[in-house]
Amino acid sequence: MDREFLDKLLEQISVSGCEECGQEVVKSHMQPFSDEIWTDEMGDVICILNPESPVRVMLSAHADEIGLLVTRITEEGRIQAIERGGIIHQNYPGQKVRIHTQKGIVYGVVECGRELFKQDNLKASDFLIDIGATSKKDAEAYVSLGDTVVLDAGVRELANGRLAARAFDDRIGVFVIMEALKRARERGCEIGVYAAATVGEETVKNGAYWSSTRIQPTAAVVVDVTNCTDYSRFPNPAVAGDVVLGGGPSLCNSPLASKRLNKKMQECAERIGIHTQREAASARSYTDADEIHFSNQGVPVVFTAVPLRNMHTPGEIADMKDVEGCIEVIAEFLCSFTEP
């Protein structure tokens, strides 16, 4: 695995709808490994192997992350913002943040008092971000409306090959699909591979739809993260199944998932000695698959997920063994893929 590539992806601020920074990293890194790279007006990046092949397998992972969008600057120079995606509001008071502006990164702190934590329905509009400005005019020299905000959290090495970071959801998926394309290329894969780093999944899921309608895939592999059930009672293992950190990539028994492709993915894992886990779903997946599956005249989809603890927090935890297993299974799937 290319750890430097992963670290660069995780460093970027790519709040939903404003993914340009992360997408530039993808384009730059993947240029030597792609036969073609497509982009579109919304900001999707599609790295392509064997574009001449009539068989096209789409790999999809979303490049965006949850965060805030600046909406207002008060007369006192405080910054106000709204949510972009499903943030956990209690994570923000008293925390340091990074604001992505046209002039570079501006640092701030979300103001905090005991009374704030007593609110029953804490909202992003309750936040006041202090950047050190003394007035509205002073703050406007640093921050503009429409700038994006994330919690100021870096990557930390944990024990046993595990990492903690912000935005593993779903920067780790982007990393997986790009590494899988690289390995498929090394191993002589002959089908068309379209690794799509999509935009907007945390909000409107437009990137998955735009990318799929352009690619017209034969099949699609959607890579995201999934909640572990080994650290809290959410989600309930009786509902979703047991998913543990370090237990291998997860496949999903979902009404959206192709049984044929699920079986093929499982066979690929067994052939190369990768242990997989199974989770269950009874409705839409809240991933890119929800748009890809219904695009064109219908696209068969299979889910592959990296188990994650603490999703949508600045301390998401992933096990790199699960990441490596996910890459290997997808590379094997691509190299052995044949049409039904």
Q: Residue 339: pLDDT above 90?
A: no
User: CA of 311: how far to CAs of 55, 206, 263, in Å?
Assistant: 35, 22, 28
For the chain, the C-alpha Rg in angstroms (whole number) is: 20
| H/E element, 4 | helix 3-11
| Confidence (pLDDT) at 340 | 62
The Cα 334–Cα 329 span in angstroms is 9
Confidence class for position 14, pLDDT limits 50, 70, 90: very high
* Domain architecture of the chain: domains with CATH: 3-65+166-336 (3.40.630.10), 67-151 (2.40.30.40)
Of 306, 38, 330, the C-alpha closest to 197 is: 38
Of 172, 210, 216, the C-alpha closest to 194 is: 216
- Overall average pLDDT of the 119-135 stretch: 94
- Overall average pLDDT of the 114-135 stretch: 90
What are the strands of the beta sheet with 45-49, ordered from one edge? 36-39, 45-49, 192-198, 56-62, 219-227, 301-308, 250-253, 277-280
| Confidence (pLDDT) at 119 | 79
The Cα 176–Cα 304 span in angstroms is 10
- Overall average pLDDT of the 26-50 stretch: 98
Q: Residue 210: pLDDT above 70?
A: yes
Of 179, 174, 171, the C-alpha closest to 330 is: 179
pLDDT tens digits for range 178-205: 999 999 999 999 999 999 999 999 999 9
The Cα 35–Cα 55 span in angstroms is 15
pTM for this model (two decimals): 0.97
Provide the token pair at 148. 């994006």
Q: Residue 118: pLDDT above 80?
A: no
- Overall average pLDDT of the 103-121 stretch: 89
Cross-strand partners of 162: 319
- Overall average pLDDT of the 220-233 stretch: 92
- Overall average pLDDT of the 307-312 stretch: 96
> Please, are residues 310 and 162 in contact by the beta-carbon 8 Å criterion?
no
Mean pLDDT of all residues belonging to the chain: 95
